[in-house]
Homo-oligomer: A and B are copies of this chain.
């Protein structure tokens, strides 16, 4: 029976349980700085692991996401100390400020908007905690950039790690697999990006297509190169949709595979899902419709590759994938924590993360 009621209940107790679990010894104590689109997903994912726990989360303002954090049992802290009072006035209990929180944790996952992570770094250094930054920051903010499949070991024992962006994560997973199996001479990728996340209602392109950037190539290619050694040139556009990015890939392999070999390689990796047009998956809208049935928040942590799109033309591979920008980096953040504390090997960590998030259990 679909225990929607209880499932929502359970979900609303995420933090409560984790509070308890933080009392257990040996767990890595995690702070989430910025309980927004990425932060709330990472918080829930951390709560699902046995070797780490969420000590607290921060918000800059007392909105419904802040209330939700509290309802879920997360201890809430003001991300901007001067704004602590706003939470009180809104009737939302906070435990202190980000500074108080940093004293209690081993690591902070910075989930603030792009560029703010770098501004926060001195605070983390001062508090002597490790920190993970997201892909909106420049690579220089951390010692290494991170993708679990492509370069887990680089983050072993590191203090500052940057999980690359949703687009870069999506590209890297597929390219790593193709490279490992067939070698790569060259990659050309065109990215068609959702202009804003679903929760945005003030900014975004309404009717049009926006080269972003106009000057070619885009920054995504060099960003992939921070985690995978591959010759890649990228072009990117923004279009008026909120659901997922879509990547159109052209890959020149060293060894020309058959289409079935490529599909096999992709389908063996749990962090990649394949979809078929004949099942009705004609657009990102249909993939999301499917995901609404299988995961809370329709979170798709996996790359979504259209199996029908995999083609080999004149020795070059073509494929199209969709990337759920809100969710795809969540497993990588968990793996990054494990690598930074040298808790597990790449294979072990990815398996634990996958199992906890249901990755590898569902197929479209």
Chain A 177-207 near chain B by CB (<8 Å), digits 1 or 0: 0000000001010101011101111111111
With A2-B47, A10-B2, A296-B293 already in contact, the answer to whether A308 and B214 are too (CB < 8 A) is yes
Q: How many copies does the complex hold?
A: 4
In the complex the two chains form, is B210's CB within 8 Å of A201's CB?
yes
The answer to whether the Cβ of A116 comes within 8 Å of any Cβ in the partner chain is no
What is the minimal beta-carbon distance from A5 to any residue of chain B, in angstroms? 4
What is the minimal beta-carbon distance from A325 to any residue of chain B, in angstroms? 12
The answer to whether the Cβ of A225 comes within 8 Å of any Cβ in the partner chain is no
The answer to whether the Cβ of A4 comes within 8 Å of any Cβ in the partner chain is yes
In the complex the two chains form, is A205's CB within 8 Å of B206's CB?
yes
The answer to whether the Cβ of A103 comes within 8 Å of any Cβ in the partner chain is no
In the complex the two chains form, is A282's CB within 8 Å of B201's CB?
yes
- Please choose the segment from A125-133, A163-171, A239-247 that sits at the chain B interface, where 4 or more of its residues have CB less than 8 A away: A239-247
Chain B minimum-CB-distance residue to A190: B190
Using Cβ atoms and an 8 Å threshold, which residues of chain B touch A136?
A: none
With A90-B278, A214-B308 already in contact, the answer to whether A246 and B237 are too (CB < 8 A) is yes
The answer to whether the Cβ of A123 comes within 8 Å of any Cβ in the partner chain is no
Q: Would you give 28 A-B contacts (Cβ < 8 Å), ordered by A? A: A2-B47, A3-B10, A4-B48, A12-B294, A12-B362, A64-B286, A90-B279, A198-B207, A198-B285, A199-B288, A200-B206, A200-B285, A204-B204, A204-B206, A205-B206, A206-B207, A208-B285, A210-B284, A211-B306, A214-B308, A214-B309, A216-B311, A216-B320, A217-B313, A233-B316, A238-B283, A242-B285, A296-B296
In the complex the two chains form, is A65's CB within 8 Å of B283's CB?
no
The answer to whether the Cβ of A23 comes within 8 Å of any Cβ in the partner chain is no
The answer to whether the Cβ of A33 comes within 8 Å of any Cβ in the partner chain is no
In the complex the two chains form, is A241's CB within 8 Å of B283's CB?
no
Using Cβ atoms and an 8 Å threshold, which residues of chain B touch A48?
A: 1-5
Interface set, chain A 17-34, CB cutoff 8 A to B: 17-18, 21
Interface set, chain A 202-257, CB cutoff 8 A to B: 202-211, 214-217, 231, 233, 235, 237-244, 246, 248, 250
- In whole angstroms, what is the CA distance A296 to B5 when docked? 9
In the complex the two chains form, is B203's CB within 8 Å of A243's CB?
no
Top 8 A-B residue pairs of the complex, sorted by shortest distance between their CB atoms: A63-B280, A208-B285, A7-B7, A210-B283, A199-B289, A190-B190, A5-B358, A201-B283
What is the minimal beta-carbon distance from A202 to any residue of chain B, in angstroms? 6
The answer to whether the Cβ of A9 comes within 8 Å of any Cβ in the partner chain is yes
Chain B minimum-CB-distance residue to A245: B209
- In whole angstroms, what is the CA distance A306 to B216 when docked? 10
- In whole angstroms, what is the CA distance A141 to B284 when docked? 34
* Contact pick for A280, options B8, B64, B206, CB 8 Å: B64
Interface residues on A, range: 35 or more
The answer to whether the Cβ of A348 comes within 8 Å of any Cβ in the partner chain is no
In the complex the two chains form, is B7's CB within 8 Å of A283's CB?
no
The answer to whether the Cβ of A67 comes within 8 Å of any Cβ in the partner chain is yes
With A11-B7, A209-B241, A235-B248 already in contact, the answer to whether A290 and B192 are too (CB < 8 A) is no
In the complex the two chains form, is B5's CB within 8 Å of A284's CB?
no
Using Cβ atoms and an 8 Å threshold, which residues of chain B touch A82?
A: none
The answer to whether the Cβ of A281 comes within 8 Å of any Cβ in the partner chain is yes
What is the minimal beta-carbon distance from A48 to any residue of chain B, in angstroms? 6
Other than the given A208-B284, A240-B241, 7 more pairs (CB < 8 A) read A5-B361, A11-B293, A11-B294, A12-B362, A61-B280, A90-B279, A190-B190
